[in-house]
Amino acid sequence: MQNCLERILIVDDQSVIRFALKTALQTCGDYDLVEAKDGCEAKDLINEKDFELIFCDLNMPNESGIDVLQHLAERAHTHPIVMISGEGEPLLNACSLLAKQFNLNILGVAEKPIQRQTIATFLSAAEETLNRDNRRSIPKLSEKDVELAINEHRVVAYFQPQIELRENTIHCVEVLARLKTHNNNTLLPASFIPVAESNPELINKLTKSVILDALEKFQRLKERHPTILISINLSASMMDDQSFPMWLSQTCFTHNVKAGDVTCELTETAICNHPALLTASILRLSLLKFNLSIDDFGTGYASMQQLHALPFQELKIDKSFVKDCMTNLKSKAVIEQTIKLAKALNMTVVAEGVENEAVAHYLQQLHCDVAQGYYYAPPLSIRALLFSDSANMHWPEG
């Protein structure tokens, strides 16, 4: 793996903390270490140089860590950040939330004094993030580029398995869009979905194209594994289109896929757009016997009234809570209460973003129904899925 981590910025008003952190970093690797004693100095350095990793204190004179985060957001900074402070976990978690709302790449939060092992863990995570970002570092496409790719059938469906935790078998596959370039590179959604979402006609065209490709491939999967289900993501604009539910029904019929084998995932934020149109579309999908799921639960604004009144069968816990649930008590509380809520409402609960065995085991202990994430498998092409061989999952019998 290529070493992408070279220059690190340490921002803290206490010289003893900067010295201790610098000394610990020097024992972990050969890095170009730069220090800043407050937010003002840090902002000047950020304007001059590119830092692959930033350790930033929260409470500093002149300008605080919050000012630094805002400055990084204004510069569209994408590299990893670690927040450090002696202020206590609640305030650190609030700052972590702020960083995420700024669309910053927050690795985590750490209370002073930071232990060497904690620093080594953050360095490893930063290396992994930077290497992954480098592999994905492809310029954003224009609307014209995306439309051309759709017309040339280069926007394709990939599938990420969802695992039924009780039996450790593949329960469902979630459809995720990928775009193939003319030189056969595979682009991730960040390269084309945001630009498509800015144009309702384009995102609707893209969604239908991916669904068509997914259903054609799902037929092959269903021949081998008759009990497998499929899950598709629907945007807010797609749900505003009142003709979509019938289109989906007719398309499934054409591809010999039962509506009961299909789950339509809606994000919480989509639930808030044009509530009357959304409710009408949800009811149409339900009457047509499609299953309905609330995606990214906990990050939006779904109310108890909507959960109670609308015919959702599934609730998906957002990966931001799953990712750090073994170290963050608030994330753990969100997961535990969400599972209890889902069970009380007779809904299936799915946890996204499972990346290690400890989290998988924890979710099993909580009687979470289904999980998905890189611990089991990344999004796969249909060919890779058909021939997948993972020690952490297996196909159901029959």
Phi, psi of 113 (to 5 degrees): -80, 140
What confidence score (pLDDT) does residue 249 get? 97
d(CA 265, CA 275): 16
A 10 A CB-CB count for 73 gives 15
Query: Do residues 49 and 77 touch, judged by C-beta distance below 8 A?
Result: no
Which segments of the chain have a pLDDT < 50? 1-2, 137
Residue 4 burial (CB < 10 Å; 0-12/13-18/19+)? middle
* Residues paired with residue 56 on neighbouring β-strands, in sequence order: 11, 83
Residue-wise pLDDT tens digits, 82-108: 888 776 666 666 766 776 677 788 887
Peptide bond before residue 226 is cis, with ω within 30 degrees of 0: no
Residue-wise pLDDT tens digits, 360-386: 999 999 999 999 998 898 889 998 888
Where in the chain are all domains bearing CATH 3.40.50.2300? Answer: 7-136
DSSP character for 54? E
Residue-wise pLDDT tens digits, 292-329: 998 877 655 555 666 677 889 999 998 888 988 887 88
CATH tag for 143-386 (out of 3.40.50.300, 3.40.640.10, 3.20.20.450, 3.90.79.10): 3.20.20.450
d(CA 334, CA 275): 26
What confidence score (pLDDT) does residue 398 get? 60
- pTM higher than 0.75, yes or no? no
CA angle 116/73/124 to nearest 5° reads: 25
Residue 250 parent element (H or E): helix 244-254
What confidence score (pLDDT) does residue 309 get? 74
Close Cβ partners of 228 (under 8 Å, ≥ 6 residues apart): 170, 171, 172, 173, 221, 222, 261, 396
CA distance readout (Å), 309 to 235, 267, 327: 21, 17, 35
What confidence score (pLDDT) does residue 165 get? 94
Phi, psi of 256 (to 5 degrees): 60, 40
What confidence score (pLDDT) does residue 269 get? 57
What confidence score (pLDDT) does residue 2 get? 44
DSSP 283-332: HHHHHTT-EEEEEEETSS---HHHHHHS---EEEE-HHHHHTTTT-HHHH
State CA 259 to chain mean position distance: 26
Query: Do residues 314 and 348 touch, judged by C-beta distance below 8 A?
Result: yes
Where in the chain are all domains bearing CATH 3.20.20.450? Answer: 143-386
What fold does the segment set 7-136 form as a domain? Rossmann fold (3.40.50)
**Contacts by 14-23 with C-beta closer than 8 Å and gap 24+?**
14/57, 17/57, 17/84, 17/112, 17/113, 20/113, 20/114, 21/55, 21/84, 21/114, 21/119
Tell me the pairing of strands 169-180 and 106-111: unpaired
